[in-house]
Amino acid sequence: MDQLAITLDELHGYYFEDLEEGMTEIFSKTLTDADIVAFAGVSGDTNPVHLDQEFANQTQFHGRIAHGMLTASFLSTVMGTKLPGPGCIYIKQSLRFKAPVRVGDTVTARVTVTSLVPEKKFAELSTICTVGGKVVIDGEATVMVPGRH
């Protein structure tokens, strides 16, 4: 076997048996104008509150805001790359949008294991996004996590 070949185990995140309540991981990103424009293009959500400063100035936000789902996507980043990591599958997500996110804000997405359902190999997770210590999104998620067998 080629010594540089990557095995499936090397790509895999945590197995269900490795998870414990209280485990936490984060991902942080500073949002740019390009991020918001790219998300609008990919998602098709061209609501002017995200793209048009003049329009957005007339809203209750007094300026452009990032798409809520762009911010929420950082939770998926944590789940898919860190905890539980590669191999897990989203089952369910609830989100409560609590405050706007703007260009230049650094979003920190935090995922914490709150409970485990062994018979289904589900992990229930607390999901929170913050900007400067202020909660901008909170919610809960359920993911299916592969077992070792």
Check pLDDT > 90 for residue 148. no
Rounded (5°) CA angle 31-89-35: 15
pLDDT band at 7; cut points 50, 70, 90: low
The rounded Cα 9 to chain-centroid distance in angstroms is 23
Domains and CATH numbers, the chain: 22-31+68-144 (3.10.129.10)
pLDDT in tens, 53-89: 999 999 999 999 999 999 999 999 999 999 999 999 9
For the entire predicted model, the pTM comes to 0.91
pLDDT in tens, 8-53: 667 788 999 999 999 999 999 999 999 999 999 999 999 999 999 9
Check pLDDT > 90 for residue 5. no
